């Protein structure tokens, strides 16, 4: 903490010098912390103002400007109202004294401070005209004045300021009253020939159109502002970048405004449309200029200039397409028709996509993706609607000749298909790999991912088969060209030329018919891909080929002969890479091997088979020249998958972990499909697969189990994450398998002893009895495998890595999946597992993952009467150290622990409420009070209400703050769900209403003894709601003597109004609704009124955040609601008053 007695300008200057000038890192850190604490002090107001007047140096001036802006942003209410005028005058004086060469960050902070003060200061009437009159005297101050006018609308919508809806409406009224004045002022300044001023003017215009919410079409001064803007856009070579960008930003703001209005008669939109079409020639001229300058000294300089300008124009074209999306989809008209559906809009997009390099680039193409996504999506929706209308009109059209029937309804979408086909071709031209190392070209990889997403929408419009034929024919042409140019061209060389097309085919493959009636896919694979990947082939080509195999998994399952060749090729890619050190890898080989593993996983996951087996239960192999009977890949290649792939993983230390995990997941899906009574839509006998299942699970798990054992036997230190010395790798491989086994019991028919006892066997036929017996034997052998082989290794991991947080998280995750897989059939392991959890948690570092694991145990075993006491005992052992660790500041610092704790408590209420809530070793009051405090974590946790750009070294922890904020929100949601379940249970189980309990206690009588344990549990909850006092200090002194229900309602309202994310309002509304249902009307209304009163209804500066009418409306809606969704809307509206 800062010693306020030692605060002075000199001490602050010394800290600033230490922060920026001292070479010692530790001193810099101390200075940064000290200055952050100083910024929270009330003395920061005066000292920062003095720093600005001193104007000693750049660092002190910037810190002073930044501090005073942050104080206005986040701590404005600590300043007395009588000081506001003095602060206003001081800030405006500082702005007037800014020079043309003043540092931009300092000027921006001061201008932002003025804007924030204007937004906050209720007493500053007619502030816009006041600011203009004071700062318009000189050209220099007028320049900063335009910046302030730009910042004011932006800051009005800042969540950091927490102005509230009423204040924003008041500001919008000021904007409405002054917009004509501002437009006239900006129009006057736009006549300036200074490009810097023009840039500021257009940035200001864009801000007013984007943020004020009061600008309409009639406010657009076409002359001079809009004409000048397009004159700038038509002259890319002579206009500075900042001015060109600012003009384009205002055009984008106008287009967005037109889109929001959705007015087909908008003259502004038609004016913009025609003038934007004329900008196509600008891009073409830029491209021609670059082409003519090839090889000259000016080429690179021109290229950089024109790239920036074309980026701005592409944003405009893309925004125009989004704005005109409804008419383009519903009523497209021929190019040049002049209507809003004029297909010249699509030509604008295609001009960008078809610009030849070097000006044409993936960056430019990516800008169009949003518009193309939305157009394709709307077109698909329009076609579906047209089809349904056509079906509904079918009966009518059969008797009435209507020429404008179905064909007229589907025509508009058809008009867009040729344009989207050109889009596919253009995207293909951007997808080739221009280097031998795809791994190093992150930009290409990201672009291809975006293209893959876009293609999914285009496929729905154009059709997968049509696009496949287009690409297939293109590949055929490339093959012919390669062969004609070089008769000896190898398959690999032909494949290299076709690489981009193959990638585009991966985006289509999954949508194609697996039966391939025309044989195009088979021809492509057998004549190009398989031969091209055989022998020496660059790893990037291998990767694309493997990606294609992965997407064609369903097709491969229908073509077993080619599938065998594909699987063998994939395994060879993996085998050849075994034992290769990471520094000896070829460029792209790591990703190629990862793609091969993923492809194998996808192929294994598709299980298609026919019932064929040998007498001893082994699956038979069909003759090589026959496609029938078919075997699933799991059956045909099992030994190869185990011996040649999984056993090689320890020799592939560098393989991408997510690809290997995908391989195991695919194996698991294939295995789990094999034990059911069907594969690929074919009914088959699962008994052979069920017989083989336990052995196969043991084999595929053996590698991970052996590696874990060796790590522990050798006490091998963990050297980095995702390395072979990291136990998490092997634990995740096992977890990937058991995660896919979660439906094992359903696939086996949920076998239990009563399904196949002797008496029942005599009444069912022999086949059914054998099926049930095979399921039981399969389950029994799997359980034996878990108990005797897997569980001993897992328990060793729990002991060996007890002090390491990450391994504990992953081993708990594995146990969760195993428990979910076998459920109550693991009943005999439960006592040992419970003991291990308690021991590991209490002695190994209190990892919250054990709380999560315990909640899964409660979920699976909580309905077993003989397990409930033991499960509650586990909670009792875990809760004491947990509640102690999250007391005080620990609640804020450990949101994940809070979330896992209340997830466990929720499960206990759902399954073991009577035992849980009546336990003498559980302090229910302390638990509920902690849950109440947790509801406000979103308001008090890290990053709550902070402004990341307003503290020294502000970029250091932005990501951490974002993650912490998300964790705090999840923790609050878990506490909310706990209260929901608690109140629902109490309402159902109570024998006396809360009001009866209060009346009984107020009269001095004893409560009647409940008739059952559930009623006693409900009575304990009611006692907390109506009679308890806080077990820990509360934030508001007037809550110190309030009951639990009052504290709960107050915390809910605080969370919603001051920090809780909107998506969490349903949980908060559910609590209020269920409380309202259970609690007496008068008592609940009193809680609600007190909760509202604890909010900051009137700020210290006089700002009324919620009027009495608004408060009354909110209370009436809540009290009269018949469902929680009504309360959600009421909370949303009420919270806006404080944000």
Residue 625 has pLDDT above 50, yes or no: no
Residue 514's SS3 state is coil
User: Residue 487: what pLDDT?
Assistant: 57
Residue 620 has pLDDT above 70, yes or no: no
CA atoms within 13 A on the CB side of 501: 21
Residue 1037 has pLDDT above 70, yes or no: no
What are 490-518's pLDDT values in tens digits?
677 777 778 889 999 999 999 999 988 88
Q: What is the largest CA-CA distance in the chain?
A: 105
- Rounded percentage of the chain residues whose pLDDT exceeds 70: 88
What are 140-150's pLDDT values in tens digits?
999 999 999 99
What residues have CB less than 8 Å from 601, skipping those under 6 apart?
A: 662, 663, 664, 665, 666, 667
User: Residue 85: what pLDDT?
Assistant: 94
Helix residue ranges per DSSP H, 801-956: 805-822, 830-844, 849-861, 865-885, 890-893, 895-917, 924-935, 937-940
* Cβ-contact 1012, 977 below 8 angstroms: no
What residues have CB less than 8 Å from 468, skipping those under 6 apart?
A: 505, 508, 512, 520
User: Residue 686: what pLDDT?
Assistant: 86
Q: Which among 499, 425, 522 has a CA at the least distance from the CA of 467?
A: 425
What are 785-840's pLDDT values in tens digits?
999 999 999 999 999 999 899 999 999 999 999 999 999 999 999 999 999 999 99
How many whole angstroms separate alpha carbon 259 and alpha carbon 261?
5
User: Residue 599: what pLDDT?
Assistant: 97
* Cβ-contact 604, 662 below 8 angstroms: no
What are 880-926's pLDDT values in tens digits?
999 999 988 888 889 999 999 999 999 999 999 999 999 999 999 99
What are 675-696's pLDDT values in tens digits?
886 544 556 788 889 999 999 9
Written as six digits, the tokens of 448 are 């291809």
What residues have CB less than 8 Å from 996, skipping those under 6 apart?
A: none
* Cβ-contact 964, 895 below 8 angstroms: yes
User: Residue 207: what pLDDT?
Assistant: 96
What angle do helix axes 865-885 and 895-917 make, rounded to 10 degrees?
A: 140
User: Residue 769: what pLDDT?
Assistant: 79
Where b means 16+ CB within 10 Å and e means fewer, 755-788 reads: bbeeeebeeeeeeebebbbbbbbbbebbbebbee
SS3 sequence, 480-501? HHHHHHCCCCCHHHHHHHCHHH
How many whole angstroms separate alpha carbon 658 and alpha carbon 689?
28
Written as six digits, the tokens of 985 are 């249970």
What pTM was estimated for this model as a whole? 0.88
Q: What is the mean pLDDT of residues 319-333?
A: 93
How many whole angstroms separate alpha carbon 641 and alpha carbon 660?
12
Residue 756 has pLDDT above 60, yes or no: no
Q: 155: burial class by Cβ within 10 Å (0-12, 13-18, 19+)?
A: buried
Q: 943 or 651: whose pLDDT is higher?
A: 651
What are the Cα distances from residue 97, in Å, to 100, 102, 144, 199, 784?
A: 10, 10, 11, 22, 83
Residue 16 has pLDDT above 70, yes or no: yes
What are the Cα distances from residue 622, in Å, to 52, 684, 858, 959?
A: 87, 16, 48, 56
What are 537-577's pLDDT values in tens digits?
888 889 999 999 999 999 999 999 999 999 999 999 999 99
* Cβ-contact 316, 279 below 8 angstroms: yes
What are the Cα distances from residue 43, in Å, to 2, 34, 38, 46?
A: 11, 14, 8, 6
Residue 759 CA, distance from chain mean position = 55
User: Residue 958: what pLDDT?
Assistant: 46
Residue 1098's SS3 state is strand
Residue 224, preceding bond cis, omega within 30 degrees? Answer: yes
What are the Cα distances from residue 483, in Å, to 493, 495, 524, 551, 922?
A: 10, 12, 16, 28, 80
Q: What is the mean pLDDT of residues 105-133?
A: 95
Residue 525 has pLDDT above 80, yes or no: yes
Per DSSP, the residues of 141-200 read HHHHHHHHHHHHHHHHT-TTT---HHHHHHHHHHHHHHHHHHHHHHHHHHT---HHHHHH
Q: Quick one: pLDDT band at residue 712, thresholds 50, 70, 90?
A: very high
How many whole angstroms separate alpha carbon 924 and alpha carbon 840?
25
Residue 662 has pLDDT above 80, yes or no: yes
Q: 986: burial class by Cβ within 10 Å (0-12, 13-18, 19+)?
A: buried
What are 191-211's pLDDT values in tens digits?
888 999 999 999 999 999 999
User: Residue 940: what pLDDT?
Assistant: 59
The position carrying tokens 């802006």 is 69
What are the Cα distances from residue 7, in Å, to 31, 35, 732, 875?
A: 14, 11, 54, 50
User: Residue 790: what pLDDT?
Assistant: 97
User: Residue 1033: what pLDDT?
Assistant: 60
Taking residue 482's Cβ as centre, other Cβ atoms within 10 Å add up to 19
Q: Which residues, listed in sequence order, are joined to residue 1098 by a DSSP beta bridge? A: 1104
Q: What is the mean pLDDT of residues 751-769?
A: 55
Q: What is the DSSP secondary structure assignment for residue 1063, as one 8-state letter?
A: G
Q: What is the mean pLDDT of residues 381-391?
A: 73
- Rounded percentage of the chain residues whose pLDDT exceeds 90: 66
Q: Which residues, listed in sequence order, are joined to residue 682 by a DSSP beta bridge? A: 679
What are 978-1028's pLDDT values in tens digits?
999 999 999 999 999 999 999 998 888 998 999 999 999 999 999 999 987
The pLDDT mean for the chain works out to: 87
Residue 957 has pLDDT above 70, yes or no: no
SS3 sequence, 400-436? CCCCCCHHHHHHHHHHHHHHHHHHHHHHHHHCCCCCC
CA atoms within 13 A on the CB side of 847: 22
> CA torsion angle for 524, 527, 529, 533 (degrees, to 10)?
180
* Cβ-contact 914, 1017 below 8 angstroms: yes
- Residue 679 main-chain phi, psi, to 5 deg: -150, 120
What are 395-441's pLDDT values in tens digits?
445 444 444 444 433 457 889 999 999 999 999 989 887 654 444 47
What residues have CB less than 8 Å from 748, skipping those under 6 apart?
A: 675, 690, 775, 778, 779
């Amino acid at each position: 903490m800062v010693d306020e007695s030692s605060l002075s300008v000199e001490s602050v200057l010394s800290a600033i010098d230490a922060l920026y000038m001292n070479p010692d890192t530790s001193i810099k850190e101390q200075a940064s912390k000290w200055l952050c604490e100083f910024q929270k002090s009330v003395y920061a107001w005066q000292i920062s103002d003095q720093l600005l007047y001193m104007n000693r140096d750049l660092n002190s001036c910037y810190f002073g400007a930044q501090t005073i802006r942050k104080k206005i942003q986040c701590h404005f209410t600590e300043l007395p109202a009588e000081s506001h005028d003095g602060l206003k005058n001081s800030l405006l004086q500082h702005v007037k004294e800014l020079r043309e060469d003043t540092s931009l960050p300092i000027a921006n902070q001061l201008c932002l401070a003025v804007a924030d003060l204007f937004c906050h200061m209720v007493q500053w009437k007619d502030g816009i005209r006041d600011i203009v009159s004071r700062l318009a005297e000189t050209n220099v101050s007028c320049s900063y004045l335009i910046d302030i006018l730009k910042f004011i609308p932006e800051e009005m919508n800042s969540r950091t300021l927490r102005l509230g809806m009423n204040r924003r409406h008041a500001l919008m009224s000021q904007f409405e009253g002054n917009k004509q004045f501002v437009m006239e002022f900006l129009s006057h300044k736009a006549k300036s020939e200074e490009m810097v001023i023009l840039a500021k003017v257009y940035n200001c215009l864009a801000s007013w159109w984007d943020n004020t919410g009061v600008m309409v079409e009639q406010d657009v001064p076409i002359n001079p502002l809009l004409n000048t803007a397009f004159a700038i856009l038509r002259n890319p070579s002579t206009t500075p970048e900042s001015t060109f960008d600012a003009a384009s930003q205002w055009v984008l703001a106008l287009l967005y405004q037109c889109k929001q209005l959705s007015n087909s008669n908008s003259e502004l939109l038609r004016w913009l449309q025609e003038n934007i079409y004329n900008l196509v020639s600008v891009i073409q001229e830029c491209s021609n200029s670059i082409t003519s300058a090839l090889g000259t000294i000016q080429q690179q300089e021109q290229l950089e200039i024109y790239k920036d300008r074309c980026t701005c124009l592409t944003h405009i074209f893309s925004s125009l397409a989004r704005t005109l999306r409804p008419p383009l989809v519903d009523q497209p008209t021929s190019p040049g028709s002049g209507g809003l559906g004029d297909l010249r809009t699509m030509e604008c997009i295609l001009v960008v996509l078809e610009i030849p390099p070097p000006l044409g680039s993936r960056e430019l193409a990516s800008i169009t993706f949003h518009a193309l996504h939305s157009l394709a999506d709307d077109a698909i929706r329009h076609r579906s609607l047209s089809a349904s209308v056509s079906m509904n009109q079918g009966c009518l059209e059969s008797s009435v000749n209507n020429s404008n029937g179905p064909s007229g309804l589907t025509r508009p979408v058809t008009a867009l298909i040729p344009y989207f086909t050109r889009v596919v071709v253009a995207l293909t031209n951007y997808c080739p790999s221009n280097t031998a190392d795809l791994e190093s070209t992150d930009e290409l990889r990201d672009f291809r991912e975006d293209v893959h997403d876009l293609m999914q929408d285009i496929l729905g419009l154009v059709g997968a088969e049509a696009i496949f034929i287009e690409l297939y024919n293109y590949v055929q042409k490339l093959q012919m060209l390669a062969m004609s140019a070089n008769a000896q061209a190898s398959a690999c060389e032909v494949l290299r030329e076709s690489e981009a097309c193959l990638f585009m085919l991966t985006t289509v493959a999954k949508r194609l018919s697996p039966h391939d009636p025309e044989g195009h896919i088979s021809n492509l694979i057998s004549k190009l891909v398989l031969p091209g990947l055989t022998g020496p082939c660059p790893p990037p080509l291998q990767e694309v080929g493997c990606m294609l195999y992965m997407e064609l998994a369903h097709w491969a399952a229908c073509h077993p002969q080619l599938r065998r060749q594909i699987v063998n090729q994939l395994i060879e890619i993996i085998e050849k890479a075994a034992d290769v050190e990471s520094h000896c890898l070829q460029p792209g080989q790591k990703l190629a091997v990862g793609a091969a593993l993923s492809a194998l996983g996808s192929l294994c996951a598709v299980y298609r088979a026919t019932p064929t087996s040998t007498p001893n239960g082994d699956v038979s192999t069909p003759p090589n020249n026959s496609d029938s009977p078919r075997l699933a890949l799991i059956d045909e290649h099992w030994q190869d998958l185990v011996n040649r792939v999984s056993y090689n993983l320890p020799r592939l230390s560098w393989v991408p972990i997510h690809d290997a995990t995908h391989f195991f997941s695919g194996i698991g899906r294939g295995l789990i499909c094999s034990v059911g009574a069907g594969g690929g839509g074919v009914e088959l006998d699962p008994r052979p697969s069920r017989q083989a299942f336990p052995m196969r699970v043991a084999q595929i798990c053996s590698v991970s189990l052996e590696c874990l054992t060796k790590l522990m036997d050798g006490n091998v230190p963990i050297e980095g994450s995702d390395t072979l010395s990291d136990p998490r790798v092997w634990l995740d491989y096992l977890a990937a398998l058991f995660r896919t086994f979660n439906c094992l019991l359903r696939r086996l028919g949920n076998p239990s002893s009563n399904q196949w006892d002797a008496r029942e066997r005599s009444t069912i036929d022999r086949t059914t009895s054998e099926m049930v017996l095979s399921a039981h034997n399969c389950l029994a052998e799997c359980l034996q495998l878990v108990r005797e082989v897997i569980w001993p290794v897992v328990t060793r991991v729990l002991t060996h890595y007890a002090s390491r947080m990450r391994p504990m998280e992953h081993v708990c995750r594995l146990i969760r999946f195993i428990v979910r897989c076998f459920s109550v059939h693991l009943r005999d392991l439960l006592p040992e597992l419970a003991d291990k959890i308690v021991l590991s948690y209490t002695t190994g570092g209190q990892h919250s993952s054990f709380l999560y694991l315990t909640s899964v145990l409660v979920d699976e075993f909580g309905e077993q009467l003989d397990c409930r006491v033991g499960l509650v005992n586990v909670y009792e052992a875990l809760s004491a150290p947990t509640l102690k660790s999250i007391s005080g500041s620990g609640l804020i610092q450990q949101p994940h622990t809070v979330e896992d704790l209340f997830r466990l408590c929720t499960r206990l209420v759902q399954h073991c409420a009577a035992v849980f809530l009546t336990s003498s070793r559980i302090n229910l009051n302390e638990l509920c009070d902690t849950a109440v405090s947790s509801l406000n974590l979103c308001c008090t946790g890290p990053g709550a209400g902070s402004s990341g750009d307003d503290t020294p070294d502000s970029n250091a922890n932005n990501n951490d703050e974002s993650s912490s904020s998300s964790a705090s929100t999840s923790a609050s949601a878990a506490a909310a769900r706990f209260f929901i379940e608690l109140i629902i249970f109490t309402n159902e189980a109570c024998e006396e209403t809360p009001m009866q309990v209060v009346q009984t206690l107020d009269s001095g009588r004893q409560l009647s003894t409940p008739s059952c344990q559930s009623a006693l549990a409900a009575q304990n909850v009611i006692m907390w709601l109506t009679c308890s006092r806080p077990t820990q200090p509360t934030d508001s002194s007037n809550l110190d003597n309030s009951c639990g229900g009052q504290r709960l309602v107050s915390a809910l309202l605080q969370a919603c109004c001051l920090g809780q994310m909107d998506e969490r309002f349903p949980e908060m509304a559910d609590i209020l609704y269920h409380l309202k249902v259970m609690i007496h009307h008068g008592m609940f209304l009193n809680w609600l009124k007190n909760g509202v009163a604890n909010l900051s209804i009137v700020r210290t500066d006089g700002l009324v955040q919620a009027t009495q009418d608004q408060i009354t409306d909110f209370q009436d809606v809540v009290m009269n609601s018949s469902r929680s969704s009504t309360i959600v809307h009421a909370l949303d509206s009420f919270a806006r008053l404080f944000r």
